[in-house]
Each structure stands twice: as structure tokens, then as C-alpha cells.
Chains A and B, each alone.
Chain A
Amino acid sequence: MIRAPAFDSVAAFFAQALAIEVEAAERYALLADQMEVHNNKEIAAIFQKMATVEQEHRAEIARRAGDSLAAHSPERFAWIIPDGPETAAFEDAHYLMTPRQALLLARFNEQRAVDYYAAIAAAATDPQIAALAMEMAADEREHVRWVDQWLEQFGPDDPDWDEDTDPPVYSE
């Protein structure tokens, strides 16, 4: 059950929408860095692509918001709220994770964003905010479809996907 926040203005709604994209993009970039450091370059590329997608979405929202954001700083908003609905959790990363797992993580985040905006649309008393939230939900739904298409390239994971031939753990 998603608790939909109430917004006192369209500008506040846009500010939060931007904050969500800023945080999601930054988190994907951090995860990409982690994977690059651990030489899992394929996953680093996936997370970097997701970071780019979120940055593009942020730019699109900023364009739609126009001058209404003058009183709000999305950068500031981003770090006073808990992890946003589109933000990947640090603990869901693994240094040997597969492309399928990375994309399922991305899909989970996108779907959570769909549900979040749908909840806002359902609860909003301001028709303009409700309409904008529905638009955002449609954007995120499009992202889900895009990730689904990407996922089609990958079959089931090897059951031993996390087997490390040089494990860090003592074996005896």
C-alpha cells in the first residue's frame, strides 16, 4: 500500500518529481561505479544507462515544469526525504550480479514509481496535480515496458551465478 503525499501546489509536485529523478539517477551512477570497481563492466554499463534514462526524464520534467520551480530546489528536496520510489537500494547490488538481475532491479524501481504516481493521481484533490501524476505514471509505465524489452535478451540465470572461483571467504 503506497501512501500518497499531498501537495499544496503544482510547483511542489514538480519539485518532488524532479527530486525523485535526481536521486534515482545518482543512485544508479553510484551502483555503476561500484560495478566498475569490481570489474563487472556489463552491469556497470546497465546501471550507467539507467542513470542516463533518469537524467533525461529529469530534464523532461524540468522542461514541463518551466518557471513554476523557481521557489524550489530539487537538489535540496532530494536529500531530506527517504529513498524515493524510483531509487535502487544499495543492498540489492551484488558484485557478481547478472544482467537479468540488474534489469529486474530496474524494473522493480520503475514499477514502484508507476504505483507511486498512480496513488498520487487517485488521492489528489487538485485536478491539475491529478492529471500531472497520471502523466508521470504513464512515463514510468513506458520505462517498465522498455526494461521488459531489454530483459527479453536474457534467459534464466545460471544457478551458480554467484560462485566465485577466488572467494573472499575462508573455505575451511
Chain B
Amino acid sequence: MNMITSCKPADYKSAVKPVWCPGCGDHSVLLSFQRALAELGLPPEQVAIVSGIGCSSRIPAYTNCYGFHGVHGRSLALASGLKVARPDLTVIVASGDGDGFSIGGNHFLHACRRNIDLTYVVMDNRIYGMTKGQPSPTTEPDWETAIAPDGTGLSPFHPLVIALASGANFVGRAFSGDLAGTVRLIVEAVRTPGFSFVQILSPCVTFRPDQQRAWKQAVHPAAVTETDDPARAARRLMTDDGFNTGVLYRGNREPYQPAPKAYHAPSCLETEFAL
């Protein structure tokens, strides 16, 4: 890894070319990551990007930071361990709505509760894109597809409400079509101590080709300023139309960070196990 002192967005770009479909919102999110890290002035060797499985989770390969492309739904568990062991690193977690809210749903709740200093970015396209377009936890109940001909009929998961109720210290939403807004939100999320949850509406051009245009029309900056009052934030989020963008809640909870333990060699660890 190259050590650099003055950071430009291009310094965070790896040599691996993204395989996302042209037109996918994730291209814009990747660029937002690079610009946000440059804005934060964090050298790549001080940043780790951890992900699970899915289109969005390919993002560590496309950056020049430390990366861990983990297992399905477990990105937050990996990232929590990393941050506790290496508090000096800025740890950003990337996920999608399937990875993060379905198989990874339980980890999401407890990561919010623990309030470890992580930034959790979920690229939400309301569909499983990598596996051919199955409905995800955030898919609308009446969205018809060959796999769900009459829609799922299920109420969608509301990740911002869940994040707030579970104890996240920062809750925000951005739209990938608004690059500058997405950069600003990621910067704010990283700067805020504790567990920061950022939902980025990132359209799937292949399985939901009308999404981009519809979302571009629908998104709007939140009409109210951010609050540090969870009760007020909860009232706002319960009437949220799903397209309010910006910082919706920023609290003051102290992040969880256990005191560092003395270094033990692997041989010491082995004495605790019957091998």
C-alpha cells in the first residue's frame, strides 16, 4: 500500500474495474466513498472497508484501503471485531438491503445497540440484484416480478426506524444520484463518534430500470433540521416517506470501546483451547 500524505479521491481507487452494470447507483456510491475519504483526509492505510455479500459488497475491492469482503450478512460482526482490536483504524462497513437487513438483520440490531465507532453504509436498491432480482426486506409489497407475481404483500423493513430504536448514534439517508449530498453525508457519518447508519438509495438499473428516474423525482432534503432528541427523531421517521435525505438524527452517546488488552502471542491463545 502506498503511503500518501495529501489525499485526492483517485488515491483511494484500486486497479480493479467495477463489474457493476453501467447505470448502477453503486458506481456513484464508490465515487462518494473516494471523495468522502479525501475530504476527511484519511490516508488509505488508516481506513478499512468491510463488506458482506452482494453487488454493493464488492466495494472493498475497488478501493485502495484495507478491505475485507466477508460472508453473507456478517460484515458488522467482522467490522466490530476489527474496530475493537484496532481502534486506530477508521472502519466503514458496506452492505446492501438483502445482506444487511435480511441475513444480517440481527447483527444490525446489535451493532446499533453496541454503538461501536463504525460507519455502516447500506446501498439499498430494494431488491436482490446479484441473484437475479428477488424481493428484499425493503421491497414494496405490491412490486410484481416473475418471482413474486402478485408482490410479496409484506410490509417493508424500515431500516432508519430500526436503527434509531436500536441505539444508533447517527441516522441519515442519501440518494446515489446526488453525489455531493452523498459525500457530505458519509463525511458527517464518519466524523460522528459511535455507530453511524447511512442508507443510500442506489437504484438497480437491470432489475428495476424505472427506479432511477422515479427516485430522482421522489427524493427531497428533509424538511426539518437534524435533531439529537431520539423521541423527536422517532416521530419524524414514523411519518417518513422513504425519500427524505440528509442527517435525520445525531445523538451524543459515548461509543463502546473496551480498554486495550496487553498483547498476547498466538501461543498464549492456544493454551485456552484443547487442540
> Are the C-beta atoms of A91 and B206 separated by less than 8 Å?
no
Select from chain B the residue with minimum beta-carbon distance to A34.
Answer: B22
Give the CA-CA distance A170 to B144 in the complex, in Å. 12
Give the CA-CA distance A168 to B204 in the complex, in Å. 12
Give chain B nearest CB distance to A44 CB in angstroms.
10
> Are the C-beta atoms of A79 and B21 separated by less than 8 Å?
no
> Are the C-beta atoms of B23 and A36 separated by less than 8 Å?
no
B17 contacts the other chain (CB 8 A) = yes
Give chain A nearest CB distance to B102 CB in angstroms.
20
- Interface SS of B by simple majority: loop
> Are the C-beta atoms of A90 and B21 separated by less than 8 Å?
no
A91 CB contact (under 8 Å) in B8, B10, B180, B203: B203
> Are the C-beta atoms of A169 and B207 separated by less than 8 Å?
yes
B-facing residues in A57-99 (Cβ within 8 Å): 75-76, 79-83, 89-95, 97
Give the CA-CA distance A34 to B183 in the complex, in Å. 22
Interface size class of B (residues with CB under 8 A): 20 to 34
Q: Please report the total number of A residues contacting B with Cβ < 8 Å.
A: 29
> Are the C-beta atoms of A75 and B8 separated by less than 8 Å?
yes
Give the CA-CA distance A34 to B203 in the complex, in Å. 17
Q: A79-B35, A168-B132, A169-B132 are in contact. Are A93 and B22 (CB under 8 A)?
A: yes
Note all chain B residues with C-beta closer than 8 A to A91.
23, 25, 177, 203, 205, 212
Q: How many A-B residue pairs lie within 8 Å, measured between CB atoms?
A: 75
B39 contacts the other chain (CB 8 A) = yes
B-facing residues in A10-40 (Cβ within 8 Å): 26, 30-31, 33-38
Select from chain B the residue with minimum beta-carbon distance to A168.
Answer: B206
B65 contacts the other chain (CB 8 A) = no
Give the CA-CA distance A89 to B176 in the complex, in Å. 11
Give the CA-CA distance A168 to B21 in the complex, in Å. 11
Give the CA-CA distance A98 to B17 in the complex, in Å. 21
Note all chain A residues with C-beta closer than 8 A to B8.
75-76, 79
Chain B contacts to A: CB under 8 angstroms: 8-10, 17-25, 27-28, 31, 35, 38-39, 132-133, 145-147, 176-180, 183, 203, 205-207, 212
Chain A contacts to B: CB under 8 angstroms: 26, 30-31, 33-38, 75-76, 79-83, 89-95, 97, 168-172
Q: A37-B18, A169-B146 are in contact. List 13 more A-B contacts (CB 8 A).
A: A37-B17, A38-B21, A38-B22, A75-B8, A79-B9, A79-B39, A81-B180, A83-B179, A92-B23, A97-B22, A168-B132, A168-B206, A170-B147
Q: Report, nearest first, the 6 A-B pairs whose CB atoms are least far apart.
A: A93-B22, A82-B180, A170-B146, A79-B35, A34-B22, A33-B17
